[in-house]
Structure 1
Amino acid sequence: MRFRRIAILFPGLLAGALCGASPTVLDLTAAGAVKVEGNIGSCPRNGRLELTVPAASGLYAEKGLFPNIRFAPRNGKYFDFSEAGVLAAEVENLSPYPIDIVLEIQGELPDGRKALSKSGIALNAGEKSVLRHRFSPVVNTSFAPGGVFDPFPGFPNPRRPDPARITRIVLMCRRPMREFRFAVSPFVAEAPPERPAAALASPAAFYPCIDRFGQYRHADWPGKIRREADFTAAREREESDLAAHPLGTAGRTVYGGWADGPTLKATGHFRVEKYRGKWFFVDPAGKLFWSFGIDCLYPANPTCVDGRREYFEWLPERDDPKFGGLYGVNRRSSAFYRKKGIETPRTFDFHLANLLRKYGDCSPEQFARIAARRLPSWGFNTVGNWNTAEVRRICRMPYVVQAKAAGSPLLGTAPYNLYDVFEPGFQAAIEANMKREFRAALDDPYCIGFFVDNEVRWDKLPRLAEHVIAMPAETPARRALAARLKEKYRTIDALNRAWGTGYPGWDGLGRLPAGKRIPEADCRDFNRLALERYYRSCRDAVRNAAPRKLYLGSRFAGFQTLDAAEAEAEYADVVSANLYYRSIAHYTGVADKPLLVGEFHFGTTVAGSGSPGLQEASGREECAKAFTRYCESALYNPNCVGVHYFRYADQPVSGRTGDDENMQVGFVDGCDTPNQPMIDAARRIGNRLYEIRLKR
């Protein structure tokens, strides 16, 4: 099939192709065809555009102030890339340290709604590689399947602009800690466009859209399961692969530590220490340990079926002797089901059904036995967050777990399920949860430590005091706020003058009058008080329940507020964050503390899912390259003591329970078929962890 080769040429650049010469069909430099804006310096040189990125004002720079350069058509409204399947450009890092570049494609859907998609690239010092962005076809449809976070391929999606309606191309950098330089060659169309599935023409043609194995029916890809015999073939291929890559890595202790490295103080449990200017875990035997793990090691992976049974080519009868027991009920339905009046939709687990087909057993023990063979062979040394007791027991490798203050009161209707940390029983609730859910881990030498909570969004609650002041007077947080204000202002008159309010007395504090706001300083002061109470309580809970375990923090969702970061750094043994970027080489906190990455991933839409997750790549090989660069950047970062990949298995293509996420980011798919490019990349990293970390 012939297709147009498109070169996007920046001002002053010469036409050219990615690999060898190619004709320029769309010369954006002709007659000043491209408008350029932004705060990244640019200079055309030797057929490329060289860019100089200024350092951000700091780790906690305001959102929207990322250094960027924007390219828009000067004549007309759109760039038309309808004949491009993948847009590609060669990029070279001109700096002596790793860098991270984001490519943002802004545009519209066919109906005129705005849409944007992102990709990017991380490069080591002096490295030259290819940045790729995959376009997806978008069609106007008379119907839209629901219950999925990202629509199936071809349906309108605000994360998938129409390739024919691209309004702007943006190169940006997220909060660069130092100035860096890179060069970009002309973009070219590297592949022909994808064509939307004919089945999108009507509901009658589209449904059912999920086959008997839980896969998307209207797409094909290498490794797709088409018949039950394919499971046997896939199992035999993997047996050969595992046999060729024996369990574990040479030169490691039973805990995965660096046996051939220095011997430090051994305590019988994990601890942290800085060695040669870089933070490490130290394993129970006293050997350096860098945690390389994977999250979500559990067999259950259900999807909701009530309210959309027409989606599915096959569902078993409830009394089916083989598969009937794989039905369940979702107690936390998403908005899609609530709008249908379904509060507790029935679920079915295609992942468990496929494990049953493949192994004849889908029990937690069988799942753990499979993981115990795979993880060490794949190069991993840690069982990441969200795992089962069976996995922890059978894998017998280092692991982390997450506690919570189960049963402790929440702050009323405050968003993000924030606990009332001033509740007298808050710390005790964490301790009780640890002893109830993780008793075997409390003194297990393989347990690295405990997170408490996940992604508590303090950054989304800068004015928490305004929520708390409207709560009943007997609420512990409300009493703490009142006490803090009384300590500062002494009299209610002083508070009223500062706030512009008319409260009759301290007992009369309550909801703010219309149009009034609590002063910024008082909001921040209360947040600091709550943060200090939260992290101190979490630290003390871990010390009381598991005194020889590390408190691993609260797994921030990316960059956090300065106050939250300072509070975590003060009390946690290891700070933690879920960092969905291309590189974390220069990620620094507010203190010289060890950092553990709780989540990161890279995904694609080449195997039927509409969702590539939070960091998209153009295909599985590109995901593997991005994974490699991310891990290398973490090993470069002197504070980072490990990274844990999210997640082990793809989410159901028809949406997981609770929030309908359907990300294609796993090391295995919903049919338990391994993602070989990712596995190969993980093995390469796992075998060279300490060589890379210490540049030996």
Structure 2
Amino acid sequence: MQRWEVLPFGYKELPDGVLKVRGIGAPLLFKDSLSKAGAFTAVFVLHRAFASEWKTAGLTLWNDGRNHWRLNLVEAPDASDKRRFVELEQMREGQWISHEGIQPDERLAFTREGWQWTYETPYRLRIEWDSQHIVGEVWEGETLCWRAAWQFKGYQGTPGIIVNGFEATIHEARIERREPAEVPAAVFGSRYSGARVKPAKQRATGFFRVEQVDGVWWFIDPQGNLFLAIGTDHASYFVHWCEQLGYAPYHRNMERKHRLETFWAQETLQRLKAWGFTALGVNHSPYLRHRGLPHPEQVLGIGQGFALYDDLVRPIHWTGFPNVFSPEWADYCDWVAYDRCRPNRDDQWLLGYFLDNELEWFGKDYVDWGLAIEALRRPPGHSARVALAQLLRRRYRGDIMAFNRAWEVNLRDFDEIAESDSPPAIRTERARQDGIAFVRLAAQRYFETAARAIRKHDPNHLILGCRFAGTAPPIWDIAGKYCEVLSVNTYPRIDLRTGRVLDWEEWLHRWHKESRRPLMITEWSFPALDSGLPCKHGAGMRVDTQTQRAQCFRIFQSTALSLPFVVGSNFFMWVDQPALGISHTFPEDSNYGLVNEQGVPYNELVQAATAVHRRGYAIHSGAKRFWERSPQPSEPPLRPRGKPIIREDVLRLPIAILNRGEQPFTGWVCIDLPPNAPKRWRGAYSCRTSQDTPVRFTIEPLRRERCWLYLGNLKPGERREFVLHFAADRPLTPRPAQRYTVADDFRVDFNPQ
């Protein structure tokens, strides 16, 4: 008889009942076991950690993803000395280690002197609970090693197991006793009605879809009306955690003011509607749902999650990219869709699903063929390298000599690409085109597999893309085959003098044309420097004042809604980030919020939002006429007086810089060099003014080759000219390694040797 509700991804049950686990944090729950009292146990042997952040393995008393108890063996992040300990803690309404409504029972607390759990040692974990308390224990053989207890008033849940970041073996998992609880009737949100729409007589299907009506793309709501998704991200009671403070200042302030998330949600919902927002963005509080604002599901993280398990681009300080050539990729997608999408299939308020957020589609080198570079960095026999070798064999029809000529290498056969300890490098134009073909193959595997899984478990809702970070390699047509809407996070510049978004509309039009799908702009913002926040980290053009910020909001949002192929726009975001940053690996500290950490709105900003949103449907209804009569102008280029020289042996690049702002500028500016081979410029280099005066500068081999140039007191309206010079030869005199601090945010090490 099956004893588990479902076997999640990462768990394998052997015929004798032993579980082999490579856990990703999915709960394995006993079937039909909702209980209001009882005891359950299992023996855990942890073999190794495969993740670098927090790792846990243990028992759970599960209510849902936001409410449950956990008895965990824990290993801290690698950056925190991997310290090990045990915990018995509660997640309540999405807040981990919530002590609301509970008290520790110190009489039962116990830790064996000098004890710490170790790998390859069997430990029996046990949870016992009733209407008054919960007790968690860890035993080694017949010896009690650790115990903790909490007192509360009643709790019911389903016993189960959760492993995250460990490889483990689990056996003797069983329920010792239980007092069954009555299964509550399913409570699904209110029936769809009352959203702010443009009345129309399109076909009503009961769920959201997208259609082009009179040359303009729209969401069509469940009742057949036209809908624009105008939202803001991170409207959450719990944002934003600050590592240095050890808490989330906004949450602490809101908890002090409102006491409960439900009361906070009432005020927040009232504000969002008053300011003209029509939908929720990502990472929203569930208490805002089904109350007049349609919502997307929280980001599935289908690729980012698998990258933690099996990566093509390692998720170091960012999202990474999944190994979509893994034989387990399809099973993982199926599990995520079963777990996250199946429960929502009948929700009429749901817009659809974002697959991911800002996957590293360009690899760590940030070039269109970056995923191919990453595949060649994988160890011999890696499934991504094998897939690349097979692709190249097909593209060259098995002719290794033709391949060698194209890549300027000398391989015996195509198997060397997959198996050699020294795989070929992508250096030639033909190799780069082959690399892009591999990226397109990876995109096909990513979108096709994820979309198939989602539509298997929820055929009713839209797939809203994967929130590209600014742009994407040439894969828009592939994404459009499998997603109804494509999403992109974009932070363009605004010219406040002309009231235009610079060099932006044509890019969106190109992506729409290539994908044949409507677009959602899923992040955009313009932090202001008068907010009192550092605003050093994070995307977006900085402005001087809240007045300018409100102007930028009005210009950007009006422009976005004026585009006939844009069906949604999500402002980034609800509340400011902490002044001390979020964490050492994610130090964002900027004025992104509609409200500050005290929950006080930025009045000029929300007034601008209200005014634009009030006209939103009228603006979008005229979008086709606007687009036809208003081609996007490019920003007038600055033309240095000198002429560039780009040869095999030398690069001479005149540069002109103009301060178009209203404040003097002192600091580092970044200049992208023309396309070139980054490893070529290893010889002498210099930067001088047009008067031949040396200038402080350095270079950074990131994305494209870049130069950082230091400017002192560049006044408003002032223009300066410089000449960069790089030589391909090795320098005549060896130079020591140089270290620079760049704009307080970067440290650049460069050794011309």
Equivalent position to 2:591, from 650, 664, 667: 664
Is contact 2:313–2:360 with CA below 8 Å preserved after alignment?
no
Deviation at 1:544, TM superposition (A): 1.9
Distance 1:254 1:560, change over 3 A: same
Q: State the match for 1:355 in structure 2.
A: 254
C-alpha RMSD of the superposition: 2.7
Match of 2:265 among 349, 359, 368: 368
Contact 1:264–1:282 (8 Å) recurs in 2: yes
Partner of 1:606: 530
Partner of 2:486: 575
Residues 557 and 577, structure 1, Cα contact 8 Å, conserved in 2:
yes
User: 2:218 aligned with 1:280, yes or no?
Assistant: yes
1:566 and 2:477 correspond: yes
Mapped partners of 2:385, 2:372: distance in 1:
9
Task: Report the AA paired with residue 556 of structure 1.
Answer: F
Q: Does 1:488 align with 2:387?
A: no
Q: 1:680 aligns with which of 607, 614, 625?
A: 607
1:503 matched residue in structure 2: 411
Residues 693 and 418 (structure 1), Cα distance of their counterparts in 2 relative to 1, 3 Å cut:
same
Give secondary structure in 1 for the equivalent of 2:528: coil
Structure 2 Cα separation of the partners of residues 565 and 448 of structure 1:
21
Letter in 2 for 1:256: R
Contact 2:533 2:579 survives alignment (8 Å) = yes
Quick one: which of 517, 534, 556 aligns to 2:468? 556
Stretches of structure 1 that go unaligned for 5 or more consecutive residues are 1-251, 307-345
Which secondary structure state, in structure 1, belongs to the residue aligned with residue 250 of structure 2?
helix
Task: Find the residue that maps to 1:525 and give its secondary structure.
Answer: helix
Q: What letter matches 1:538 in structure 2?
A: A
CA distance in 2, matches of 1:515, 1:482: 13
Match of 2:27 in 1: none
Aligned 8 A contact 1:298 1:367 in 2: no
Alignment partners' CA distance in 2, 1:527 and 1:280:
31
**How many Å apart are 1:695 and its aligned residue?**
4.0
> Structure 2 counterpart of 1:389, which letter?
P
Judged with a 3 Å threshold, the aligned counterparts in structure 2 of structure 1 residues 522 and 376 are, in CA distance, closer, same or farther, namely: same
How far, CA to CA, are the matches of 1:440 and 1:253 in structure 2? 21
Residues 11-26 of structure 1: matches in 2 within 5 Å? Answer: none
- Which residue in 2 is equivalent to 1:390? 287
- Is 1:429 aligned to residue 332 of structure 2? yes
CA distance in 1, matches of 2:485, 2:284: 20
Counterpart CA distance in 1 for 2:406 and 2:505 is 45
Counterparts of 1:424 and 1:365, CA distance in 2: 44
Which of 1 and 2 has greater Rg? 2
1:532 CA drift (Å): 1.9
Tell me what 1:409 maps to.
Answer: 310
Between the two proteins, the alignment pairs up a number of residues equal to 401
Per-residue CA deviation, residues 164-191 of structure 1 (Å, 9 max, x unaligned), is xxxxxxxxxxxxxxxxxxxxxxxxxxxx
1:528, 1:666 → 2: CA distance?
37
Task: Answer whether contact 1:647 1:665 (CA < 8 A) is retained.
Answer: yes
Contact kept, 8 Å, 1:578 with 1:599, in 2: the verdict is: yes
1:628 aligns with 2:554: yes
Deviations 1:293-340 (A, max 9, x none): 11012222345455xxxxxxxxxxxxxxxxxxxxxxxxxxxxxxxxxx
Name whichever structure is richer in strand by fraction: 2
Q: 1:647 to 1:438 in 2, by over 3 A?
A: farther
Cα deviation 1:385-409 (Å, max 9, x = unaligned): 1224333356653334321223452
Q: Does 1:517 align with 2:427?
A: yes
- Residue 468 (str. 1) matches residue 364 (str. 2): no
Counterparts of 1:13-92 in structure 2, within 5 Å, are none
Judging changes above 3 Å, is the alpha-carbon distance between structure 1 residues 364 and 420 closer, same or farther for their aligned structure 2 residues? Answer: farther
Residue identity matched to 2:197 = G
Deviation at 1:603, TM superposition (A): 1.6
Corresponding residue for residue 647 of structure 1: 573
Secondary structure at the aligned position of 2:299 is classed as strand
C-alpha displacement of 1:512: 4.2
Q: Match for residue 457 of structure 2? A: 545
Shift of 1:428: 3.4
- Paired amino acid for 1:539: A
Distance 1:303 1:291, change over 3 A: closer
SS at match of 1:577: strand
The secondary structure found in structure 2 opposite 1:383 is: coil
Q: 1:335-385: CA deviations, max 9, x gaps?
A: xxxxxxxxxxx72222122112222x1x44344333222211221111111
String of CA shifts for 1:272-292, please: whole Å, max 9, x gaps.
111121100000000000111
SS of corresponding position for 1:399:
coil
Distance 1:399 1:458, change over 3 A: closer
Q: Given the superposition, is the C-alpha separation of residues 364 and 354 from structure 1 closer, same or farther in structure 2, using an over 3 Å criterion?
A: same
Query: Cα gap change, 1:500/1:615 in structure 2, threshold over 3 Å: closer, same or farther?
Result: closer
Q: 1:534 aligns with which of 429, 446, 449?
A: 446
Q: Look up the equivalent residue of 1:661 and give its one-letter code.
A: E
Q: Any idea what SS the aligned residue of 2:246 has? A: strand
Asked whether the equivalents of residues 351 and 461 of structure 2 are also in contact (C-alpha less than 8 Å), the reply is yes
- Residues 390 and 437 (structure 1 numbering): CA distance in 2 closer, same or farther, change over 3 Å? farther
Cα distance change of structure 1 residues 463 and 605 upon mapping to structure 2, 3 Å threshold: closer
Cα separation, partners in 2 of 1:434 and 1:413, compared to 1, 3 Å: same
Structure 1 distance, partners of 2:389, 2:447, is 21
8 Å contact kept, 2:354–2:463: yes
8 Å CA contact 1:500, 1:516 repeated in 2: no
Give 3-state SS (helix, strand or coil) of 2:312's partner: coil
Q: TM-score, normalised by structure 2?
A: 0.50
Q: Which residue of 1 aligns with 2:234?
A: 296
- 1:420 offset after TM fit, Å? 0.7
Q: Distance in 1 between matches of 2:529 and 2:455?
A: 44
Is the contact made by 1:501 and 1:513 (CA closer than 8 Å) also made in structure 2? no
Query: SS of the residue aligned with 2:218?
Result: strand
Asked if the contact 1:470–1:512 (Cα under 8 Å) also holds between the matched residues in 2, the reply is no
1:386 is paired with a residue of what secondary structure? coil
Distance 1:637 1:422 in 2: 37
Shift of 1:508: 3.2
Q: Which residue is equivalent to 1:399?
A: 296
Q: How does 1:75-154 map to 2 (within 5 A)?
A: none
For the residue of structure 2 that corresponds to 1:274, the secondary structure is: strand
User: 2-side partners of 1:422 and 1:496: how far apart?
Assistant: 25
Q: Deviations 1:104-139 (Å, cap 9, x if unpaired)?
A: xxxxxxxxxxxxxxxxxxxxxxxxxxxxxxxxxxxx
Segments of structure 2 that go 5 or more residues without pairing to the other structure are 1-191, 495-500, 624-753
Tell me the distance in 1 between the aligned counterparts of 2:519 and 2:382.
Answer: 35
Output the amino acid matched with 2:247. Answer: F
TM-aligned CA distance change 1:473 to 1:364, over 3 Å: farther
Paired residues of 1:369 and 1:394 also in contact (CA < 8 A) = no
Q: Which has the higher contact order (CA 8 A, sep 6+)?
A: 1
* Contact 1:435/1:442, CA 8 A, preserved across alignment: no
Q: Distance in 2 between matches of 1:585 and 1:616?
A: 20
CA contact under 8 A between 2:321 and 2:359: conserved in structure 1?
yes
AA of the residue aligned to 1:267:
T
